[in-house]
């Protein structure tokens, strides 16, 4: 199985830049179901926690867009 390690980051002013609502970090991860034979990502959510933020060590219930975070948290 070949997994892409190439990552792209959205610019700070991007309306599509999702961040952790707790700490403002954009270093967030989410779970995905992957078909074992085709390596295609499947629709639907898996069991358990969906998002993870390694910066604050939390499982936020949802992510927010950077533009909606507000000035109260420092963006990382």
Position 12 in a domain: no
Domain that holds residue 64: 17-69
User: Coil, helix or strand for 67?
Assistant: helix
pLDDT of res. 5: 39
Position 29 in a domain: yes
Position 11 in a domain: no
Position 46 in a domain: yes
Per-residue model confidence as pLDDT tens for the chain (76 residues) = 444 433 344 445 555 588 999 998 989 998 888 889 999 988 766 555 689 999 999 898 888 988 887 666 555 4
How many CA atoms lie within 13 Å of 50's alpha carbon, on the beta-carbon side? 8
Q: Does the model's pTM come out above 0.75?
A: no
Position 4 in a domain: no
pLDDT of res. 37: 93
Total tally of structural domains belonging to the chain: 1
pLDDT of res. 3: 43
Position 58 in a domain: yes
- How far the first Cα of the chain sits from its last, in Å, is 32
Phi, psi of 71 (to 5 degrees): -85, 0
Position 56 in a domain: yes
Position 45 in a domain: yes
């Amino acid at each position: 199985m070949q997994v892409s390690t190439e990552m792209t980051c959205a610019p700070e002013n991007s309306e599509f830049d999702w961040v952790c609502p707790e700490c403002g970090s954009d270093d967030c991860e989410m779970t995905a179901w992957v078909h074992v034979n085709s390596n295609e990502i499947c629709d639907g959510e898996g069991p358990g926690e969906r998002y993870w933020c390694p910066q604050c060590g939390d499982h936020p219930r949802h992510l927010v867009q950077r533009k909606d975070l507000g000035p109260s948290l420092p963006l990382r």
